[in-house]
Chain A
Amino acid sequence: MESLSDPEVKVSVLMELAGLCDRMNDHDAAIRHRVRALAESERYESPGMTRLQHEVAEALGISLPA
């Protein structure tokens, strides 16, 4: 649980959960997890977070400013 206090881990976990929901055909839930991941990622700035943010935005089909 301690590791989830790391924001990058939290965003990664939300993205993993989104993948799990996709795998189990619940694409609405997958979108909800990705939206939460994006919202979470926007609160922090780091190279790792920027990469994750672009990854989740791409999965949602959203273009982020360069």
Chain B
Amino acid sequence: MESADLVATLCGGVPLALAIAGHRLTGPTTWSLRHLAEQLSDERERLDVLATGDVQVRTAFELSYRLLAPESAMLFRRLALIHGPDTSVALAAVAADMPPDDTETLLEELVDASLLRPDVPGRYSFHDLIRDYARERLHSEEPDLEKHRLRTRDWLLSTAMQAASAFLPDDKGASDLASADRWLSDELANWRGAFREAVGDGAYERVLALARSMHWYSDHRATGDLWLEVYTAGVRAAGELGELEQQAQQLNFVCWVYVARHTHIPLAMRWHQEALRVAEECGSLAETAWAHYYRSAIETRLGDHAAGVTHARRATDLFREAGQPMNVVLALSYTGVLLQRLGRFADAVETHRACVAEERALRGIQRGVALENAAQLLLRLSDALVAAEEHEEALSVIAEAEELVGQGAANLLSMARHTRSRTLLAAGSPRRANS
């Protein structure tokens, strides 16, 4: 961004702030645009920079702040404990240490005083300069600042962990992922800020707990950069705590980020090797299995499906030895996918059949992610059956998948119909495929 644009952005389009910034550029002690932009970029200095003679942006905010009732003023300054651009009522209530109903009333008072903006229903945001001012008040007027900071930090971390647990691929997962998904997305900047605080505080147990909790959610949302930050911090936290098995797990997750999100295979391989080394060193069967599972994806990306099969089979065996049947199912299914890519259709069918049989034996309460996984395993089997020209069986497997789709795996509806159409076409029934 050009310096002039940056200055305008940092002034947030506030006329008084822009006028003072303009004075800095043209007044007796002339600053360059670049210097002004640098000075404004430091949020601790911004309000001092936006002052000239008797005219200060701070004074304008102070007039509003001093008119607030004590409880509103307390809420206003404690909102500066929140890192993201906006907040829900629930989070504001935690930061303020007030009941949510009272907090909502006070938030509306702050909106009336033009100190907050109601962005979307139920969420409130600061203007950047007002946040700077709130932060100043927080630091100068809150005697128990650390207590409030830790309460807000820990609530965000524990709520994020609880929401992430909805995505577990077993009966511990939730049937309705939407509310957990929404919370994690809406509060992303806030829980990420709390996570960074925990990293800065050296709160390694909390850092590791959050990083571990994000395993299954990270498949669903957000960017590689976020997950790289979370899992590399997890690696360090596990190292500081001397938890080798958990360190291997976090190393595996970093490897996953490079395979699945950044598609940087040389780095994926480097982290994989470290994960495998630590997993073997501490004798963790499960983490050694995960290392081979991710290695199979690396080999596939490198175009070596045969090596992919070798690692996926090794992962299957190790998951079995570790007593993790659901992960056996995942590794078996991926083995089947790779066998099919190798053109070994009969082997692929056999492997997918074994996989589906194991999953059926495990099937308990199916909902959410577990239900989607089960439907996907069936669709993979039907794909392999079509490749092996076993169309009738493929259609009956698709019917079973469609039943699961009807039970809640609605995301797979279009995929199931697409698979059915392809199967009917392959079976020589174009009319049925069109219907």
**A residues bordering B, Cβ < 8 Å?**
1, 4, 10, 13, 16-17, 19-20, 22-28, 30-31, 55, 58-59, 61
Contact = CB atoms under 8 A, between A and B. Distances in A.
B169 A17 contact: no
Contacts of B297: 25-27
Q: Which of A13, A27, A30, A61 has the most CB of B within 10 A?
A: A27
Contacts of B223: 58-59, 61
Nearest to B331: A25
8 contacts: A13-B411, A17-B415, A22-B219, A24-B373, A27-B260, A55-B221, A58-B223, A59-B261
B414 A19 contact: no
B301 A27 contact: yes
A26 B216 CA distance: 15
B423 interface: no
Interface residues of B, number: 34
Pick the 9 closest A-B CB pairs, nearest first.
A23-B219, A16-B411, A19-B220, A58-B223, A22-B219, A25-B334, A27-B260, A19-B219, A22-B260
Give the interface SS of chain A, mostly helix, strand, loop or mixed.
helix
Nearest to B216: A23
Contact of B259 (A13, A19, A27, A58): A27
B331 to A, nearest CB: 8
A25 B261 contact: no
Given A30-B260, A61-B262, A61-B263, 17 more contacts: A1-B413, A4-B414, A13-B413, A19-B221, A22-B219, A22-B260, A24-B373, A25-B297, A25-B312, A25-B330, A26-B297, A27-B259, A27-B263, A27-B301, A58-B223, A59-B224, A61-B223
Contacts of A16: 220, 411
Contacts, number: 65
Nearest to B329: A24
Contacts of A59: 222-224, 261
Give the interface SS of chain B, mostly helix, strand, loop or mixed.
helix
Contacts of A4: 413-414
Contacts of B411: 13, 16-17, 20
A55 B312 CA distance: 30
A20 B368 CA distance: 11
B187 interface: no
A19 B222 CA distance: 10
Contacts of B373: 20, 23-24
A17 to B, nearest CB: 6
B293 A25 contact: yes
Interface in B372-431: 372-373, 376, 411-415, 417
Q: Which of B222, B223, B296, B301 has the most CB of A within 10 A?
A: B223
A20 B411 CA distance: 10
B39 interface: no
A13 B414 contact: yes
A10 B410 CA distance: 12
A16 B417 CA distance: 16
